[in-house]
Structure formats: structure tokens, C-alpha cells
Structure 1
Amino acid sequence: MAKSKLSEFKEDYYHFTGKLSDINRQIAFAGIALIWVFKKGKELDFQIDDELILPAILIVSALAFDIFQYIYQSITWSIFYTIKNRKYKTEDKKLESPEYLNYPAWFFFSVKVILVLVAYWKIFDFLLDKFLK
């Protein structure tokens, strides 16, 4: 059955961006584990291979942007809700939110995904170099 309401497309948008955030976060943690597997040195003398330092930084940065995205959204939508709830004194009022409120969240979302993709590209390059040499 074809969708007929714009709200159904919005639900899909929320579903898929939420899913992508979850997957991105899991992949970021897996990247940290993968880098750990290829550490140099003994257990007490931990060193990361030089080629894995940049991917590690990118992954940690991606996790930071993940947090920034949710901090921003939590604060923004809490303020929006509070202002509108005080004004209309009901939660049943139909409203439209300004599109620009989503721009910073989109920025954080895009950056965190790009950072993980670049990190994995660098890890893949490292693995190819190590195992196909």
C-alpha cells in the first residue's frame, strides 16, 4: 500500500536516521576494538600502530559528534516544547517547527557518519597493506 500522508514519510525519516545512528555508533565501537587487536607492544606497553592513530582519532571524534547531535536535539526540542506548551497550554495543538532548528543536528549527523566512513577506509587500507604485502 502506498503511503498517503506526509507524516508517514516523516516517520520513515526518523526510523532510518535513528537506525543509521545506532549502526554508526556500533561500527565506531567495533573500530576501536579492531584497532586494539592490532596494537603493538606487550600488554603493559600499549602502542597503536602509527597507521591506526588517525582512524582512532576519527572514530573518537565521530562518537563525540554523536553526543553533540543528541545534546543539541535534546536541548532544542525541550526548549521548543516548553515555549509552545506555555503559549498554547495544550499538547494537542498542531504545530510546524522551523526547519532551521534541524540544521545543526543534520551537521552533527553528517559529520559523524563521514568520520566513521573515512576511519574504516583507513583501517581497510591498513589491513590490505598488512595482509596482502
Structure 2
Amino acid sequence: MKLSDIRLAYEEISGKLSNINRQLAFAGIAVIWIFRITNNGKTTIPEGLIYPTLLFVISFLLDILQYLSQSLFWYGYYLYKRRQDSNEDRVINEPEWPSFFFWALLVFKVLALIVAYFALGLYLWKELYPTR
């Protein structure tokens, strides 16, 4: 296996992970929406669902931050390299250090989602099996 094949594999897998994470965050918000309470025209969510809702939102925000920061960094890097030499076909070795930040955002958004589902599961467990 070539090094380029490994890179393509982890880029594809991390892209799929981001898509799955986003879909699961939407699904989590949908589950919470089912448990909303409407009283006199005012809609609220139960107190036990505030924490998971916040974590789903944080996961979305980290997703946006990850893609925004990657886009801005790589566009800036492209402009920097283009000013040095306008040959678009030249081979360059991109820096590795920005990837640590982007990977950290990926890890934190997935962790936020996992903790959100854990908190949602605890809430549902308590609703289904209340202690007497």
C-alpha cells in the first residue's frame, strides 16, 4: 500500500465520519423535538434535555468551525504559494501542523455527539423506568 493510498483512506473515512456525525446530531435534535412541551402557545423542552441539546448544538458548531477553518487555512496557503510561483501543477509538500487543529475539531465534535447521546439515553431511561 502506498502512502498516498493511506492518506486517501483516512481522508475518505474522516469525511464519512463527519457526515454520519452531522446526521446523528440532526436525529438527536429531532428526538428532543418529539419531547418538547407546548403550554399556552409557548414551546419548551424538558429540563433533562437541555444538556444533550446543548451538546448537539456544540457538535454542529464544531463541524462548521472545522470546515470553515480548513477552508480559510488552505485557501490562504494556496494564495501564499501562488504568489511564490504561479505554476498550478507544481508539487509542494504541505505543512502537517494545521492538521492537528483540524483533527482535534473532528474528535471534539464526535465526542460532543457521543456525550449528547449518552445524556439523551439517560433521560429516556429515567422516563421509561422511573425510580419509585
State the TM-score, normalized to the length of structure 1: 0.91
Report how far residue 132 of structure 1 moved.
2.6
**Residue aligning to 1:109:** 106
Distance 1:32 1:43 in 2: 23
Distance 1:42 1:60 in 2: 24
**Residue aligning to 2:56:** 59
Report how far residue 91 of structure 1 moved.
1.9
Superposed CA deviations along residues 52-105 of structure 1, whole A, max 9, x for unmatched, are 000001111110111111110000000111111221221221111111111221
**Residue aligning to 2:91:** 94
Distance 1:115 1:127 in 2: 18
Paired positions, count:
130
Which structure 1 residue ranges, 5 or more long, are not aligned?
A: none
Out of 61, 66, 69, the residue aligned to residue 66 of structure 2 is 69
**RMSD of aligned C-alpha atoms?**
1.3
Higher strand share: 2
Report how far residue 30 of structure 1 moved.
0.8
Which structure 2 residue ranges, 5 or more long, are not aligned?
A: none
Identity %: 37
**Residue aligning to 2:117:** 120
Look up the equivalent residue of 1:91 and give its one-letter code: E
Look up the SS of the partner of 1:46 in the other structure: strand
Which ranges of 4 or more aligned residues in structure 1 deviate by more than 4 Å?
none
State the TM-score, normalized to the length of structure 2: 0.92
